[in-house]
Chain A
Amino acid sequence: MGEAETQTRESGEAAERDADLVRRLKDGDARALDELFRRHRDAAYRVAYRLLGNAEDALDCVQEAFIHVMRGIDAFRGQAAFRTWLYRVVTHAALDYRRYRAVRKTASLDTEEAREPAAAPARQPTPDQEVAARDLGAAIDKALENVSEKNRAALILYTEGLSYKEVAEALGISVGTVMSRIYNARARLRELLASEIG
């Protein structure tokens, strides 16, 4: 049996297991919730981390996403795989969280400005200095911040193992749009990380 066939079979078995756990969760089975959480928490965290660039926020986001899943589980009809649906919820939660965080940061800056209105603006490090001060992972996190939300979401979901079709389902877009978003996200990253990846 080829590697691709083995992967397909394992993926099918995982999806069936998820479907069974979802049915039990709909009946209020707490052990099904525990298992679903254990099975998907790491992947959900990686998606959230790449979208938020921060471990604490990513962890909060995963918790929120699973609560959304629990509250909306009756509406999940199983037309897509649970994993795809969860990634969709995590992606939305992370993007919402970014906006929430931006508003909070703006409010915080306002307070600081009110306290020290005459303070000189902080010296901003140049992009070269920033990149030199960080390792590659941090540089990529920083670069991802400068890729548009939609393009970044498509690229991250693909990086976390979803096929183009699954990314399309998760984001509610066509496969053609997934192709162009992933292309644009990588092209932008290539531009931002020219000195790191050559």
Chain B
Amino acid sequence: MDCDELKALLAACADGELAPMERETVQSHVAECGRCRQDLENQRRVQHVLDAVEIPPVESGRWNAVAKVLRRELEGKVAPVELKTRPRVEGLDESPAEPAAPEREPGSEAAAPRPVPAVLTMPRGRPRPRRPRAWWVAHAVGALAAAAILVVGLSTFFAPAGGPPIEPASIARRADVEIHGIDVVDPDYSVIYSAGDANDVAVIWVVPTASQG
């Protein structure tokens, strides 16, 4: 592996992010190559300096103010905050870069296109307010109750009304079967046994008792 190929691994080696085999490759190379050894040391030194830099702290009052804005936004009590940035979550490489502000030369102001502030590109629609869990539970219970009432009503409405009584003789005539017996097993229903001409088909009917007429 030559120095150019190794460069891609130097940062990861300095940060302990290499697999053992790759780390061994880098270490054996830098043991013999002064330039890459220096490069590796520079990577460590820059990171060390970056780690040491202190970021100015934020006063708790400022954080509280931001927290208040977020809470009001969540509760939907105010108009949504108009943002200066776009709500993107895709990778940096996949998103088209925002055109940079054009460089302007003195005297060319009239010809140069006017930059459009990013704030104008923000969606302005009010987002749907977030509902608490109790709201969803109450609506789910209501929907289930309404569905139950609907099912009971429909089944009552479409329940069979009894229809015309069935005559066993007409059954025998129309189906070309012989009636072998009729048993009244219930005050309302009778069981009719029958068979075809060749006695190869057995048929059992359950019919309203009134239809035996």
Interface residues of A (CB under 8 A from B): 27-30, 33-34, 37-38, 41-42, 45-46, 49-50, 55, 59-68, 70-72, 75, 85, 88-89, 91-93, 95-97, 99-100, 102-107, 110, 113-114, 136-137, 140, 149-150, 153, 155, 158-159, 163-164, 171-173, 176, 179-180, 182-183, 186-187, 189-190, 193, 196-198
Contact = CB atoms under 8 A, between A and B. Distances in A.
Q: For the complex, would chain A's binding face be called helix, strand, loop or mixed by DSSP majority?
A: helix
Contacts of A75: 89
Sorted from nearest, which 9 A-B pairs have the closest CB atoms?
A: A172-B91, A96-B85, A28-B130, A183-B11, A100-B118, A186-B46, A182-B11, A93-B85, A103-B115
Given A103-B117, A186-B47, A197-B49, 4 more contacts: A38-B67, A63-B66, A102-B100, A172-B94
A172 B17 CA distance: 18
Contact of B70 (A50, A67, A171, A179): A67
Interface string B111-152: 000011111000000010011110000000000000000000
B11 to A, nearest CB: 4
B46 A62 contact: no
Contacts of A179: 8-9, 11-12, 17
Interface string B67-87: 101110111000001011111
Interface in B13-53: 15, 17, 39, 42-43, 45-47, 49-51, 53
Given A99-B118, A103-B117, A197-B46, A55 B58 contact: yes
Contacts of B117: 100, 103-104, 107
Given A33-B74, A190-B42, A190-B46, A96 B90 contact: no
B8 A180 contact: yes
A158 B46 CA distance: 13
Contacts of B15: 158, 164, 182
A31 to B, nearest CB: 10
Interface of B: 7-12, 15, 17, 39, 42-43, 45-47, 49-51, 53-56, 58, 62-63, 66-67, 69-71, 73-75, 81, 83-95, 98, 100-101, 104, 106, 109, 115-119, 127, 130-133
A54 B130 CA distance: 33
A193 B8 contact: no
Contact of A96 (B11, B51, B63, B86): B86
A72 B88 CA distance: 10
Contacts of A95: 92
Given A96-B86, A159-B51, A70 B73 contact: yes
Contacts of A102: 100-101
A72 B81 CA distance: 14
B101 A159 contact: no
